[in-house]
Amino acid sequence: MEKRIKALRDQLHEHNHAYYVLDSPTISDYEFDMLLRELIDLEEAHPEFYDPNSPSRRVGGSVTKKFPTVMHDHPMYSLDNAYDFSELQDWESRLQKVLGNDSISYSCELKYDGASISLTYENGVLVRAVTRGDGIQGDDVTENVKTIPTVPLRLRSELEQRFDIRGEIILPLSGFESMNAERIANGEPPFMNPRNTASGSLKLQDSAVVAQRPLQCFLYQIVTNVPLFETQVQGLEAAIDWGFHVPKHFLEAKNLEEVMSFIKHWETHKNDLPYEIDGVVVKVNSLDAQAALGFTSKSPRWAIAYKFKTERVFTTLNSVDYQVGRTGAITPVANLEPILLGGTIVKRASLHNADQIEKLDLHIGDTVGVEKGGEIIPKITEVNTQKRLLNAQKIQYITHCPDCNTPLVRDSGEAQHYCPNTEGCPTQIMGRIQHFISRKAMDIEGLGGETVALMHKQGLLQSYADLYVLTEAQLLPLERMAEKSVSNVLQGIEESKSIGFERVLFALGIRYVGQTVAKKLARHFKNIGAIASADQESLMAVDEIGTRIAQSVNAFFSNPLNVELVRRLKTYGLQLSMELSAQEPHSSKLKGMSFVISGVFDLFSRDELKDLIESHGGKVTGSLSSKTNYLVAGANMGPSKKVKAEKLNISVIDEDTFSEMISL
C-alpha cells in the first residue's frame, strides 16, 4: 500500500506541474480528480504514511489561529526605484565605480504586483513559506501557501542543499473578476484590488478557504549561502527545470539600451498579460558582481525597479447610477463618456460612497481623471475644475432607494447608505433569493437570476422560504419552463433539504455573515435556536466575531419576519442544527483521552469511530505520540504502528474493546 500511495503522489505532483506550470495537461480533470480521491482515501486509511507535502495538502483544511513570526535565513530587501532612463544611467554609473568601467550585462524581469513570499526548500522539499514582513522576519504561512498549485511541494530534481527562493503571490485578473462578481451577487463589497486580495489571502485562518482562491506564485530569485550558478538568468532557467513557476518573460540584456527596449515593450504591452505588473526589475546578471556590490541597509545595490507611470485618462462624467445590493447597501457608479484605458473601453467607474462624491466635489459634465492603478474596476481620482461648465449641477447623493423609494439610512460609523425596506424592495428580495440558491449556499440547480426574477414578478416568490412550496402546476406555465426544467428545479429544491447547517446559516443572508463566520457560529452554537437567542456578549465570545457581526446577527433575529422565515424553513425540513457528530458529547466517558485509529474495521467505518470518540468527549489525532492513550487497531494495520505503540507504552485495543468502553 505504501508503494501505491507513493506512486499516486509522484503522479499527481507531475500532473500538477504539467497543468499549472507548463499549461499543458496530460490527463483530463476527471482523471486527475479520481487519482486525488484515491490518494486521499488511502491516506485516511493509512495515516502511518503521512506526508506533509502530499498533493492532497492542496485542498487545505488546516486552521491556523496565529501565524508565528520567524527569522528569514537571508534578509528580504526592498528595491530602489527608477522612473526614467537618466535614473538608470545614474544607477549604472554607481555600479561602475565598484565594478570598473567594463560593460555590465543585466537580467530584465517583470515586476509582479503581488505579495512577496520566501519559500525554503531542504532536500528538495518545501519546509516553510514566510511573508516578507519587515525584511528581517515575517509570518510563517506555510499551510496556506501549500494550497497554491504553482508552488511545488517537492522539486522535480533532487537537491540536498537548503535554499530560499523568492517570489510573489499573485491573483490573476480573471480570478479576481470572478471572485468580485460572486461577492457582488452575494451583497458583499468587492475586493479593492488583486494585490491586496492576494496578500490578505495568505493570512486567512482556514487553509481550505485559501485553496478556493485562484492564487498563483511566480518565483524570481534563488538565495543560497554558496552560489549554485554564475548568473541570475541561469538561476531562473534552473528554477524552471526544478518545477518552479517562472514566467518566461525575462531577458539577458547586454547594455542599458537593451534594458530600455525591454521596458518600453512591456510598458506598452502590460495589458496583454493575464496578471498585473507595475514595472520591470533590472539586476546585474553576474552573481559574482552582485556579491561585490553588496547591499545598503535597505536595498541591494545590484538591482533596481523601473516603475511604470500609473495610466490615467480624462473623460466626461455623464451621470451617476445607484445600485442596490441584496443587503440594501447602495453603491454609486459613475457613467462616463466611453474611453480607452488599460486596453479596454471604460464606460463606468466606481464612486464607492457619498463621502467619495463629496470629497471630489463632483458635478454632472465634469472632466474627470480615471485610473485603474491596482484596481480592475476603474475609479475617478481627480476633477479638472477649470473645465467645469458654469451651470454644472453638483451631484447630490440620493435620499431615497432607487428601486422602492424608501428613505435611505446611514448608520453611525458606516460609509454606505442602506435601504431599510428589506421586505418590500424588489432588488433586495431577489438578491436574497439568488444568494440563497447560489452554489456555496443551498446550491439549487436549475434556478438562475432570470428565473428568480420571473417567479417574483408572477408573485410566486416573495422570500426564499417560498421555494419549498412551489408546485409543478405553478411552474409549467412560466416562460422557458418545460416539463424537464420544472422537474429539475423541484428536484434541486428537494435535495437542498439535506444541505448542512453551516451552509443553511450562510444562505440566510445575514449581513456580514459570510461562509467562514457562518461555520464558526454553527459549530459554536450547534443550532439555529441558540444563535437566535444569543445576546451580543455571547456572540462576541466566538472566535473572530466582533461587535459589527454580533449586532447584525441580533438585528436579524429580532425581526419577526426573519423569525417566521426560519420557522418555515424548519417546517419544510431544512437542516437547522449540526449533525450528531458535531453536537455536544453524548457523554464524557472518554474525556481527556487521545485516540489514533488505524486499519479496517467490521463494526464501524473509520469516520463512525472518529464521531463516536468525539461524541463521548475524546480526541482523535493522526499520529502516535507520548500523549496518545489508545490505538484502535483494525485489520491490515501497518506493523510500524504497532511497534511504535509498544515503544510508547500505548494501549492497543480492537473495535470490540472500544465498544465496551463507551457502553459501560
Query: What residues are labeled active site?
Result: 111
Which helix (DSSP H) or strand (DSSP E) does residue 127 occupy?
Answer: strand 125-131
Q: Determine phi and psi for 94, rounding to 5 degrees.
A: -65, -35
In eight-state DSSP terms, residue 38 is H
Could you tell me if residue 593 is left (phi over 0), alpha (psi between -120 and 50 degrees) or otherwise beta? beta
Q: Determine phi and psi for 599, rounding to 5 degrees.
A: 105, -170
| CA dist., res. 148 & res. 126, Å (int) | 13
Q: Residue 521: what residue type?
A: L
Q: In sequence order, what are the beta bridge partners of 651?
A: 630
All cell numbers assigned to 191: 475586493
| CA dist., res. 379 & res. 371, Å (int) | 6
All cell numbers assigned to 645: 505503540
User: What distances in angstroms separate CA 462 from CA 184, 395, 505, 509, one per listed residue?
Assistant: 21, 34, 19, 15
* Cβ neighbours, 10 Å, residue 328: 25
Question: Which residue bears the cell 455571547?
Answer: 538
**C-alpha gyration radius of the chain:** 29
Handedness of CA 478, 479, 481, 483 (dihedral sign): positive
E-assigned strands of 187-311? 216-223, 251-253, 277-284, 303-307
Residue whose C-alpha is closest to residue 496's, from 555, 430, 446, 559 = 446
Please, what is the Cα angle at 375 between 369 and 378, to 5 degrees? 35
Contacting residues for 500 by C-beta, under 8 A, at least 6 apart: 575, 578, 579
Q: Summarize the chain as % helix, strand, coil (round to 5).
A: 40, 20, 40
Question: Which residue bears the cell 485578473?
Answer: 173
User: What distances in angstroms separate CA 292 from CA 45, 97, 408, one per listed residue?
Assistant: 55, 11, 65
Burial class (CB in 10 A: 0-12, 13-18, 19+), 215: buried
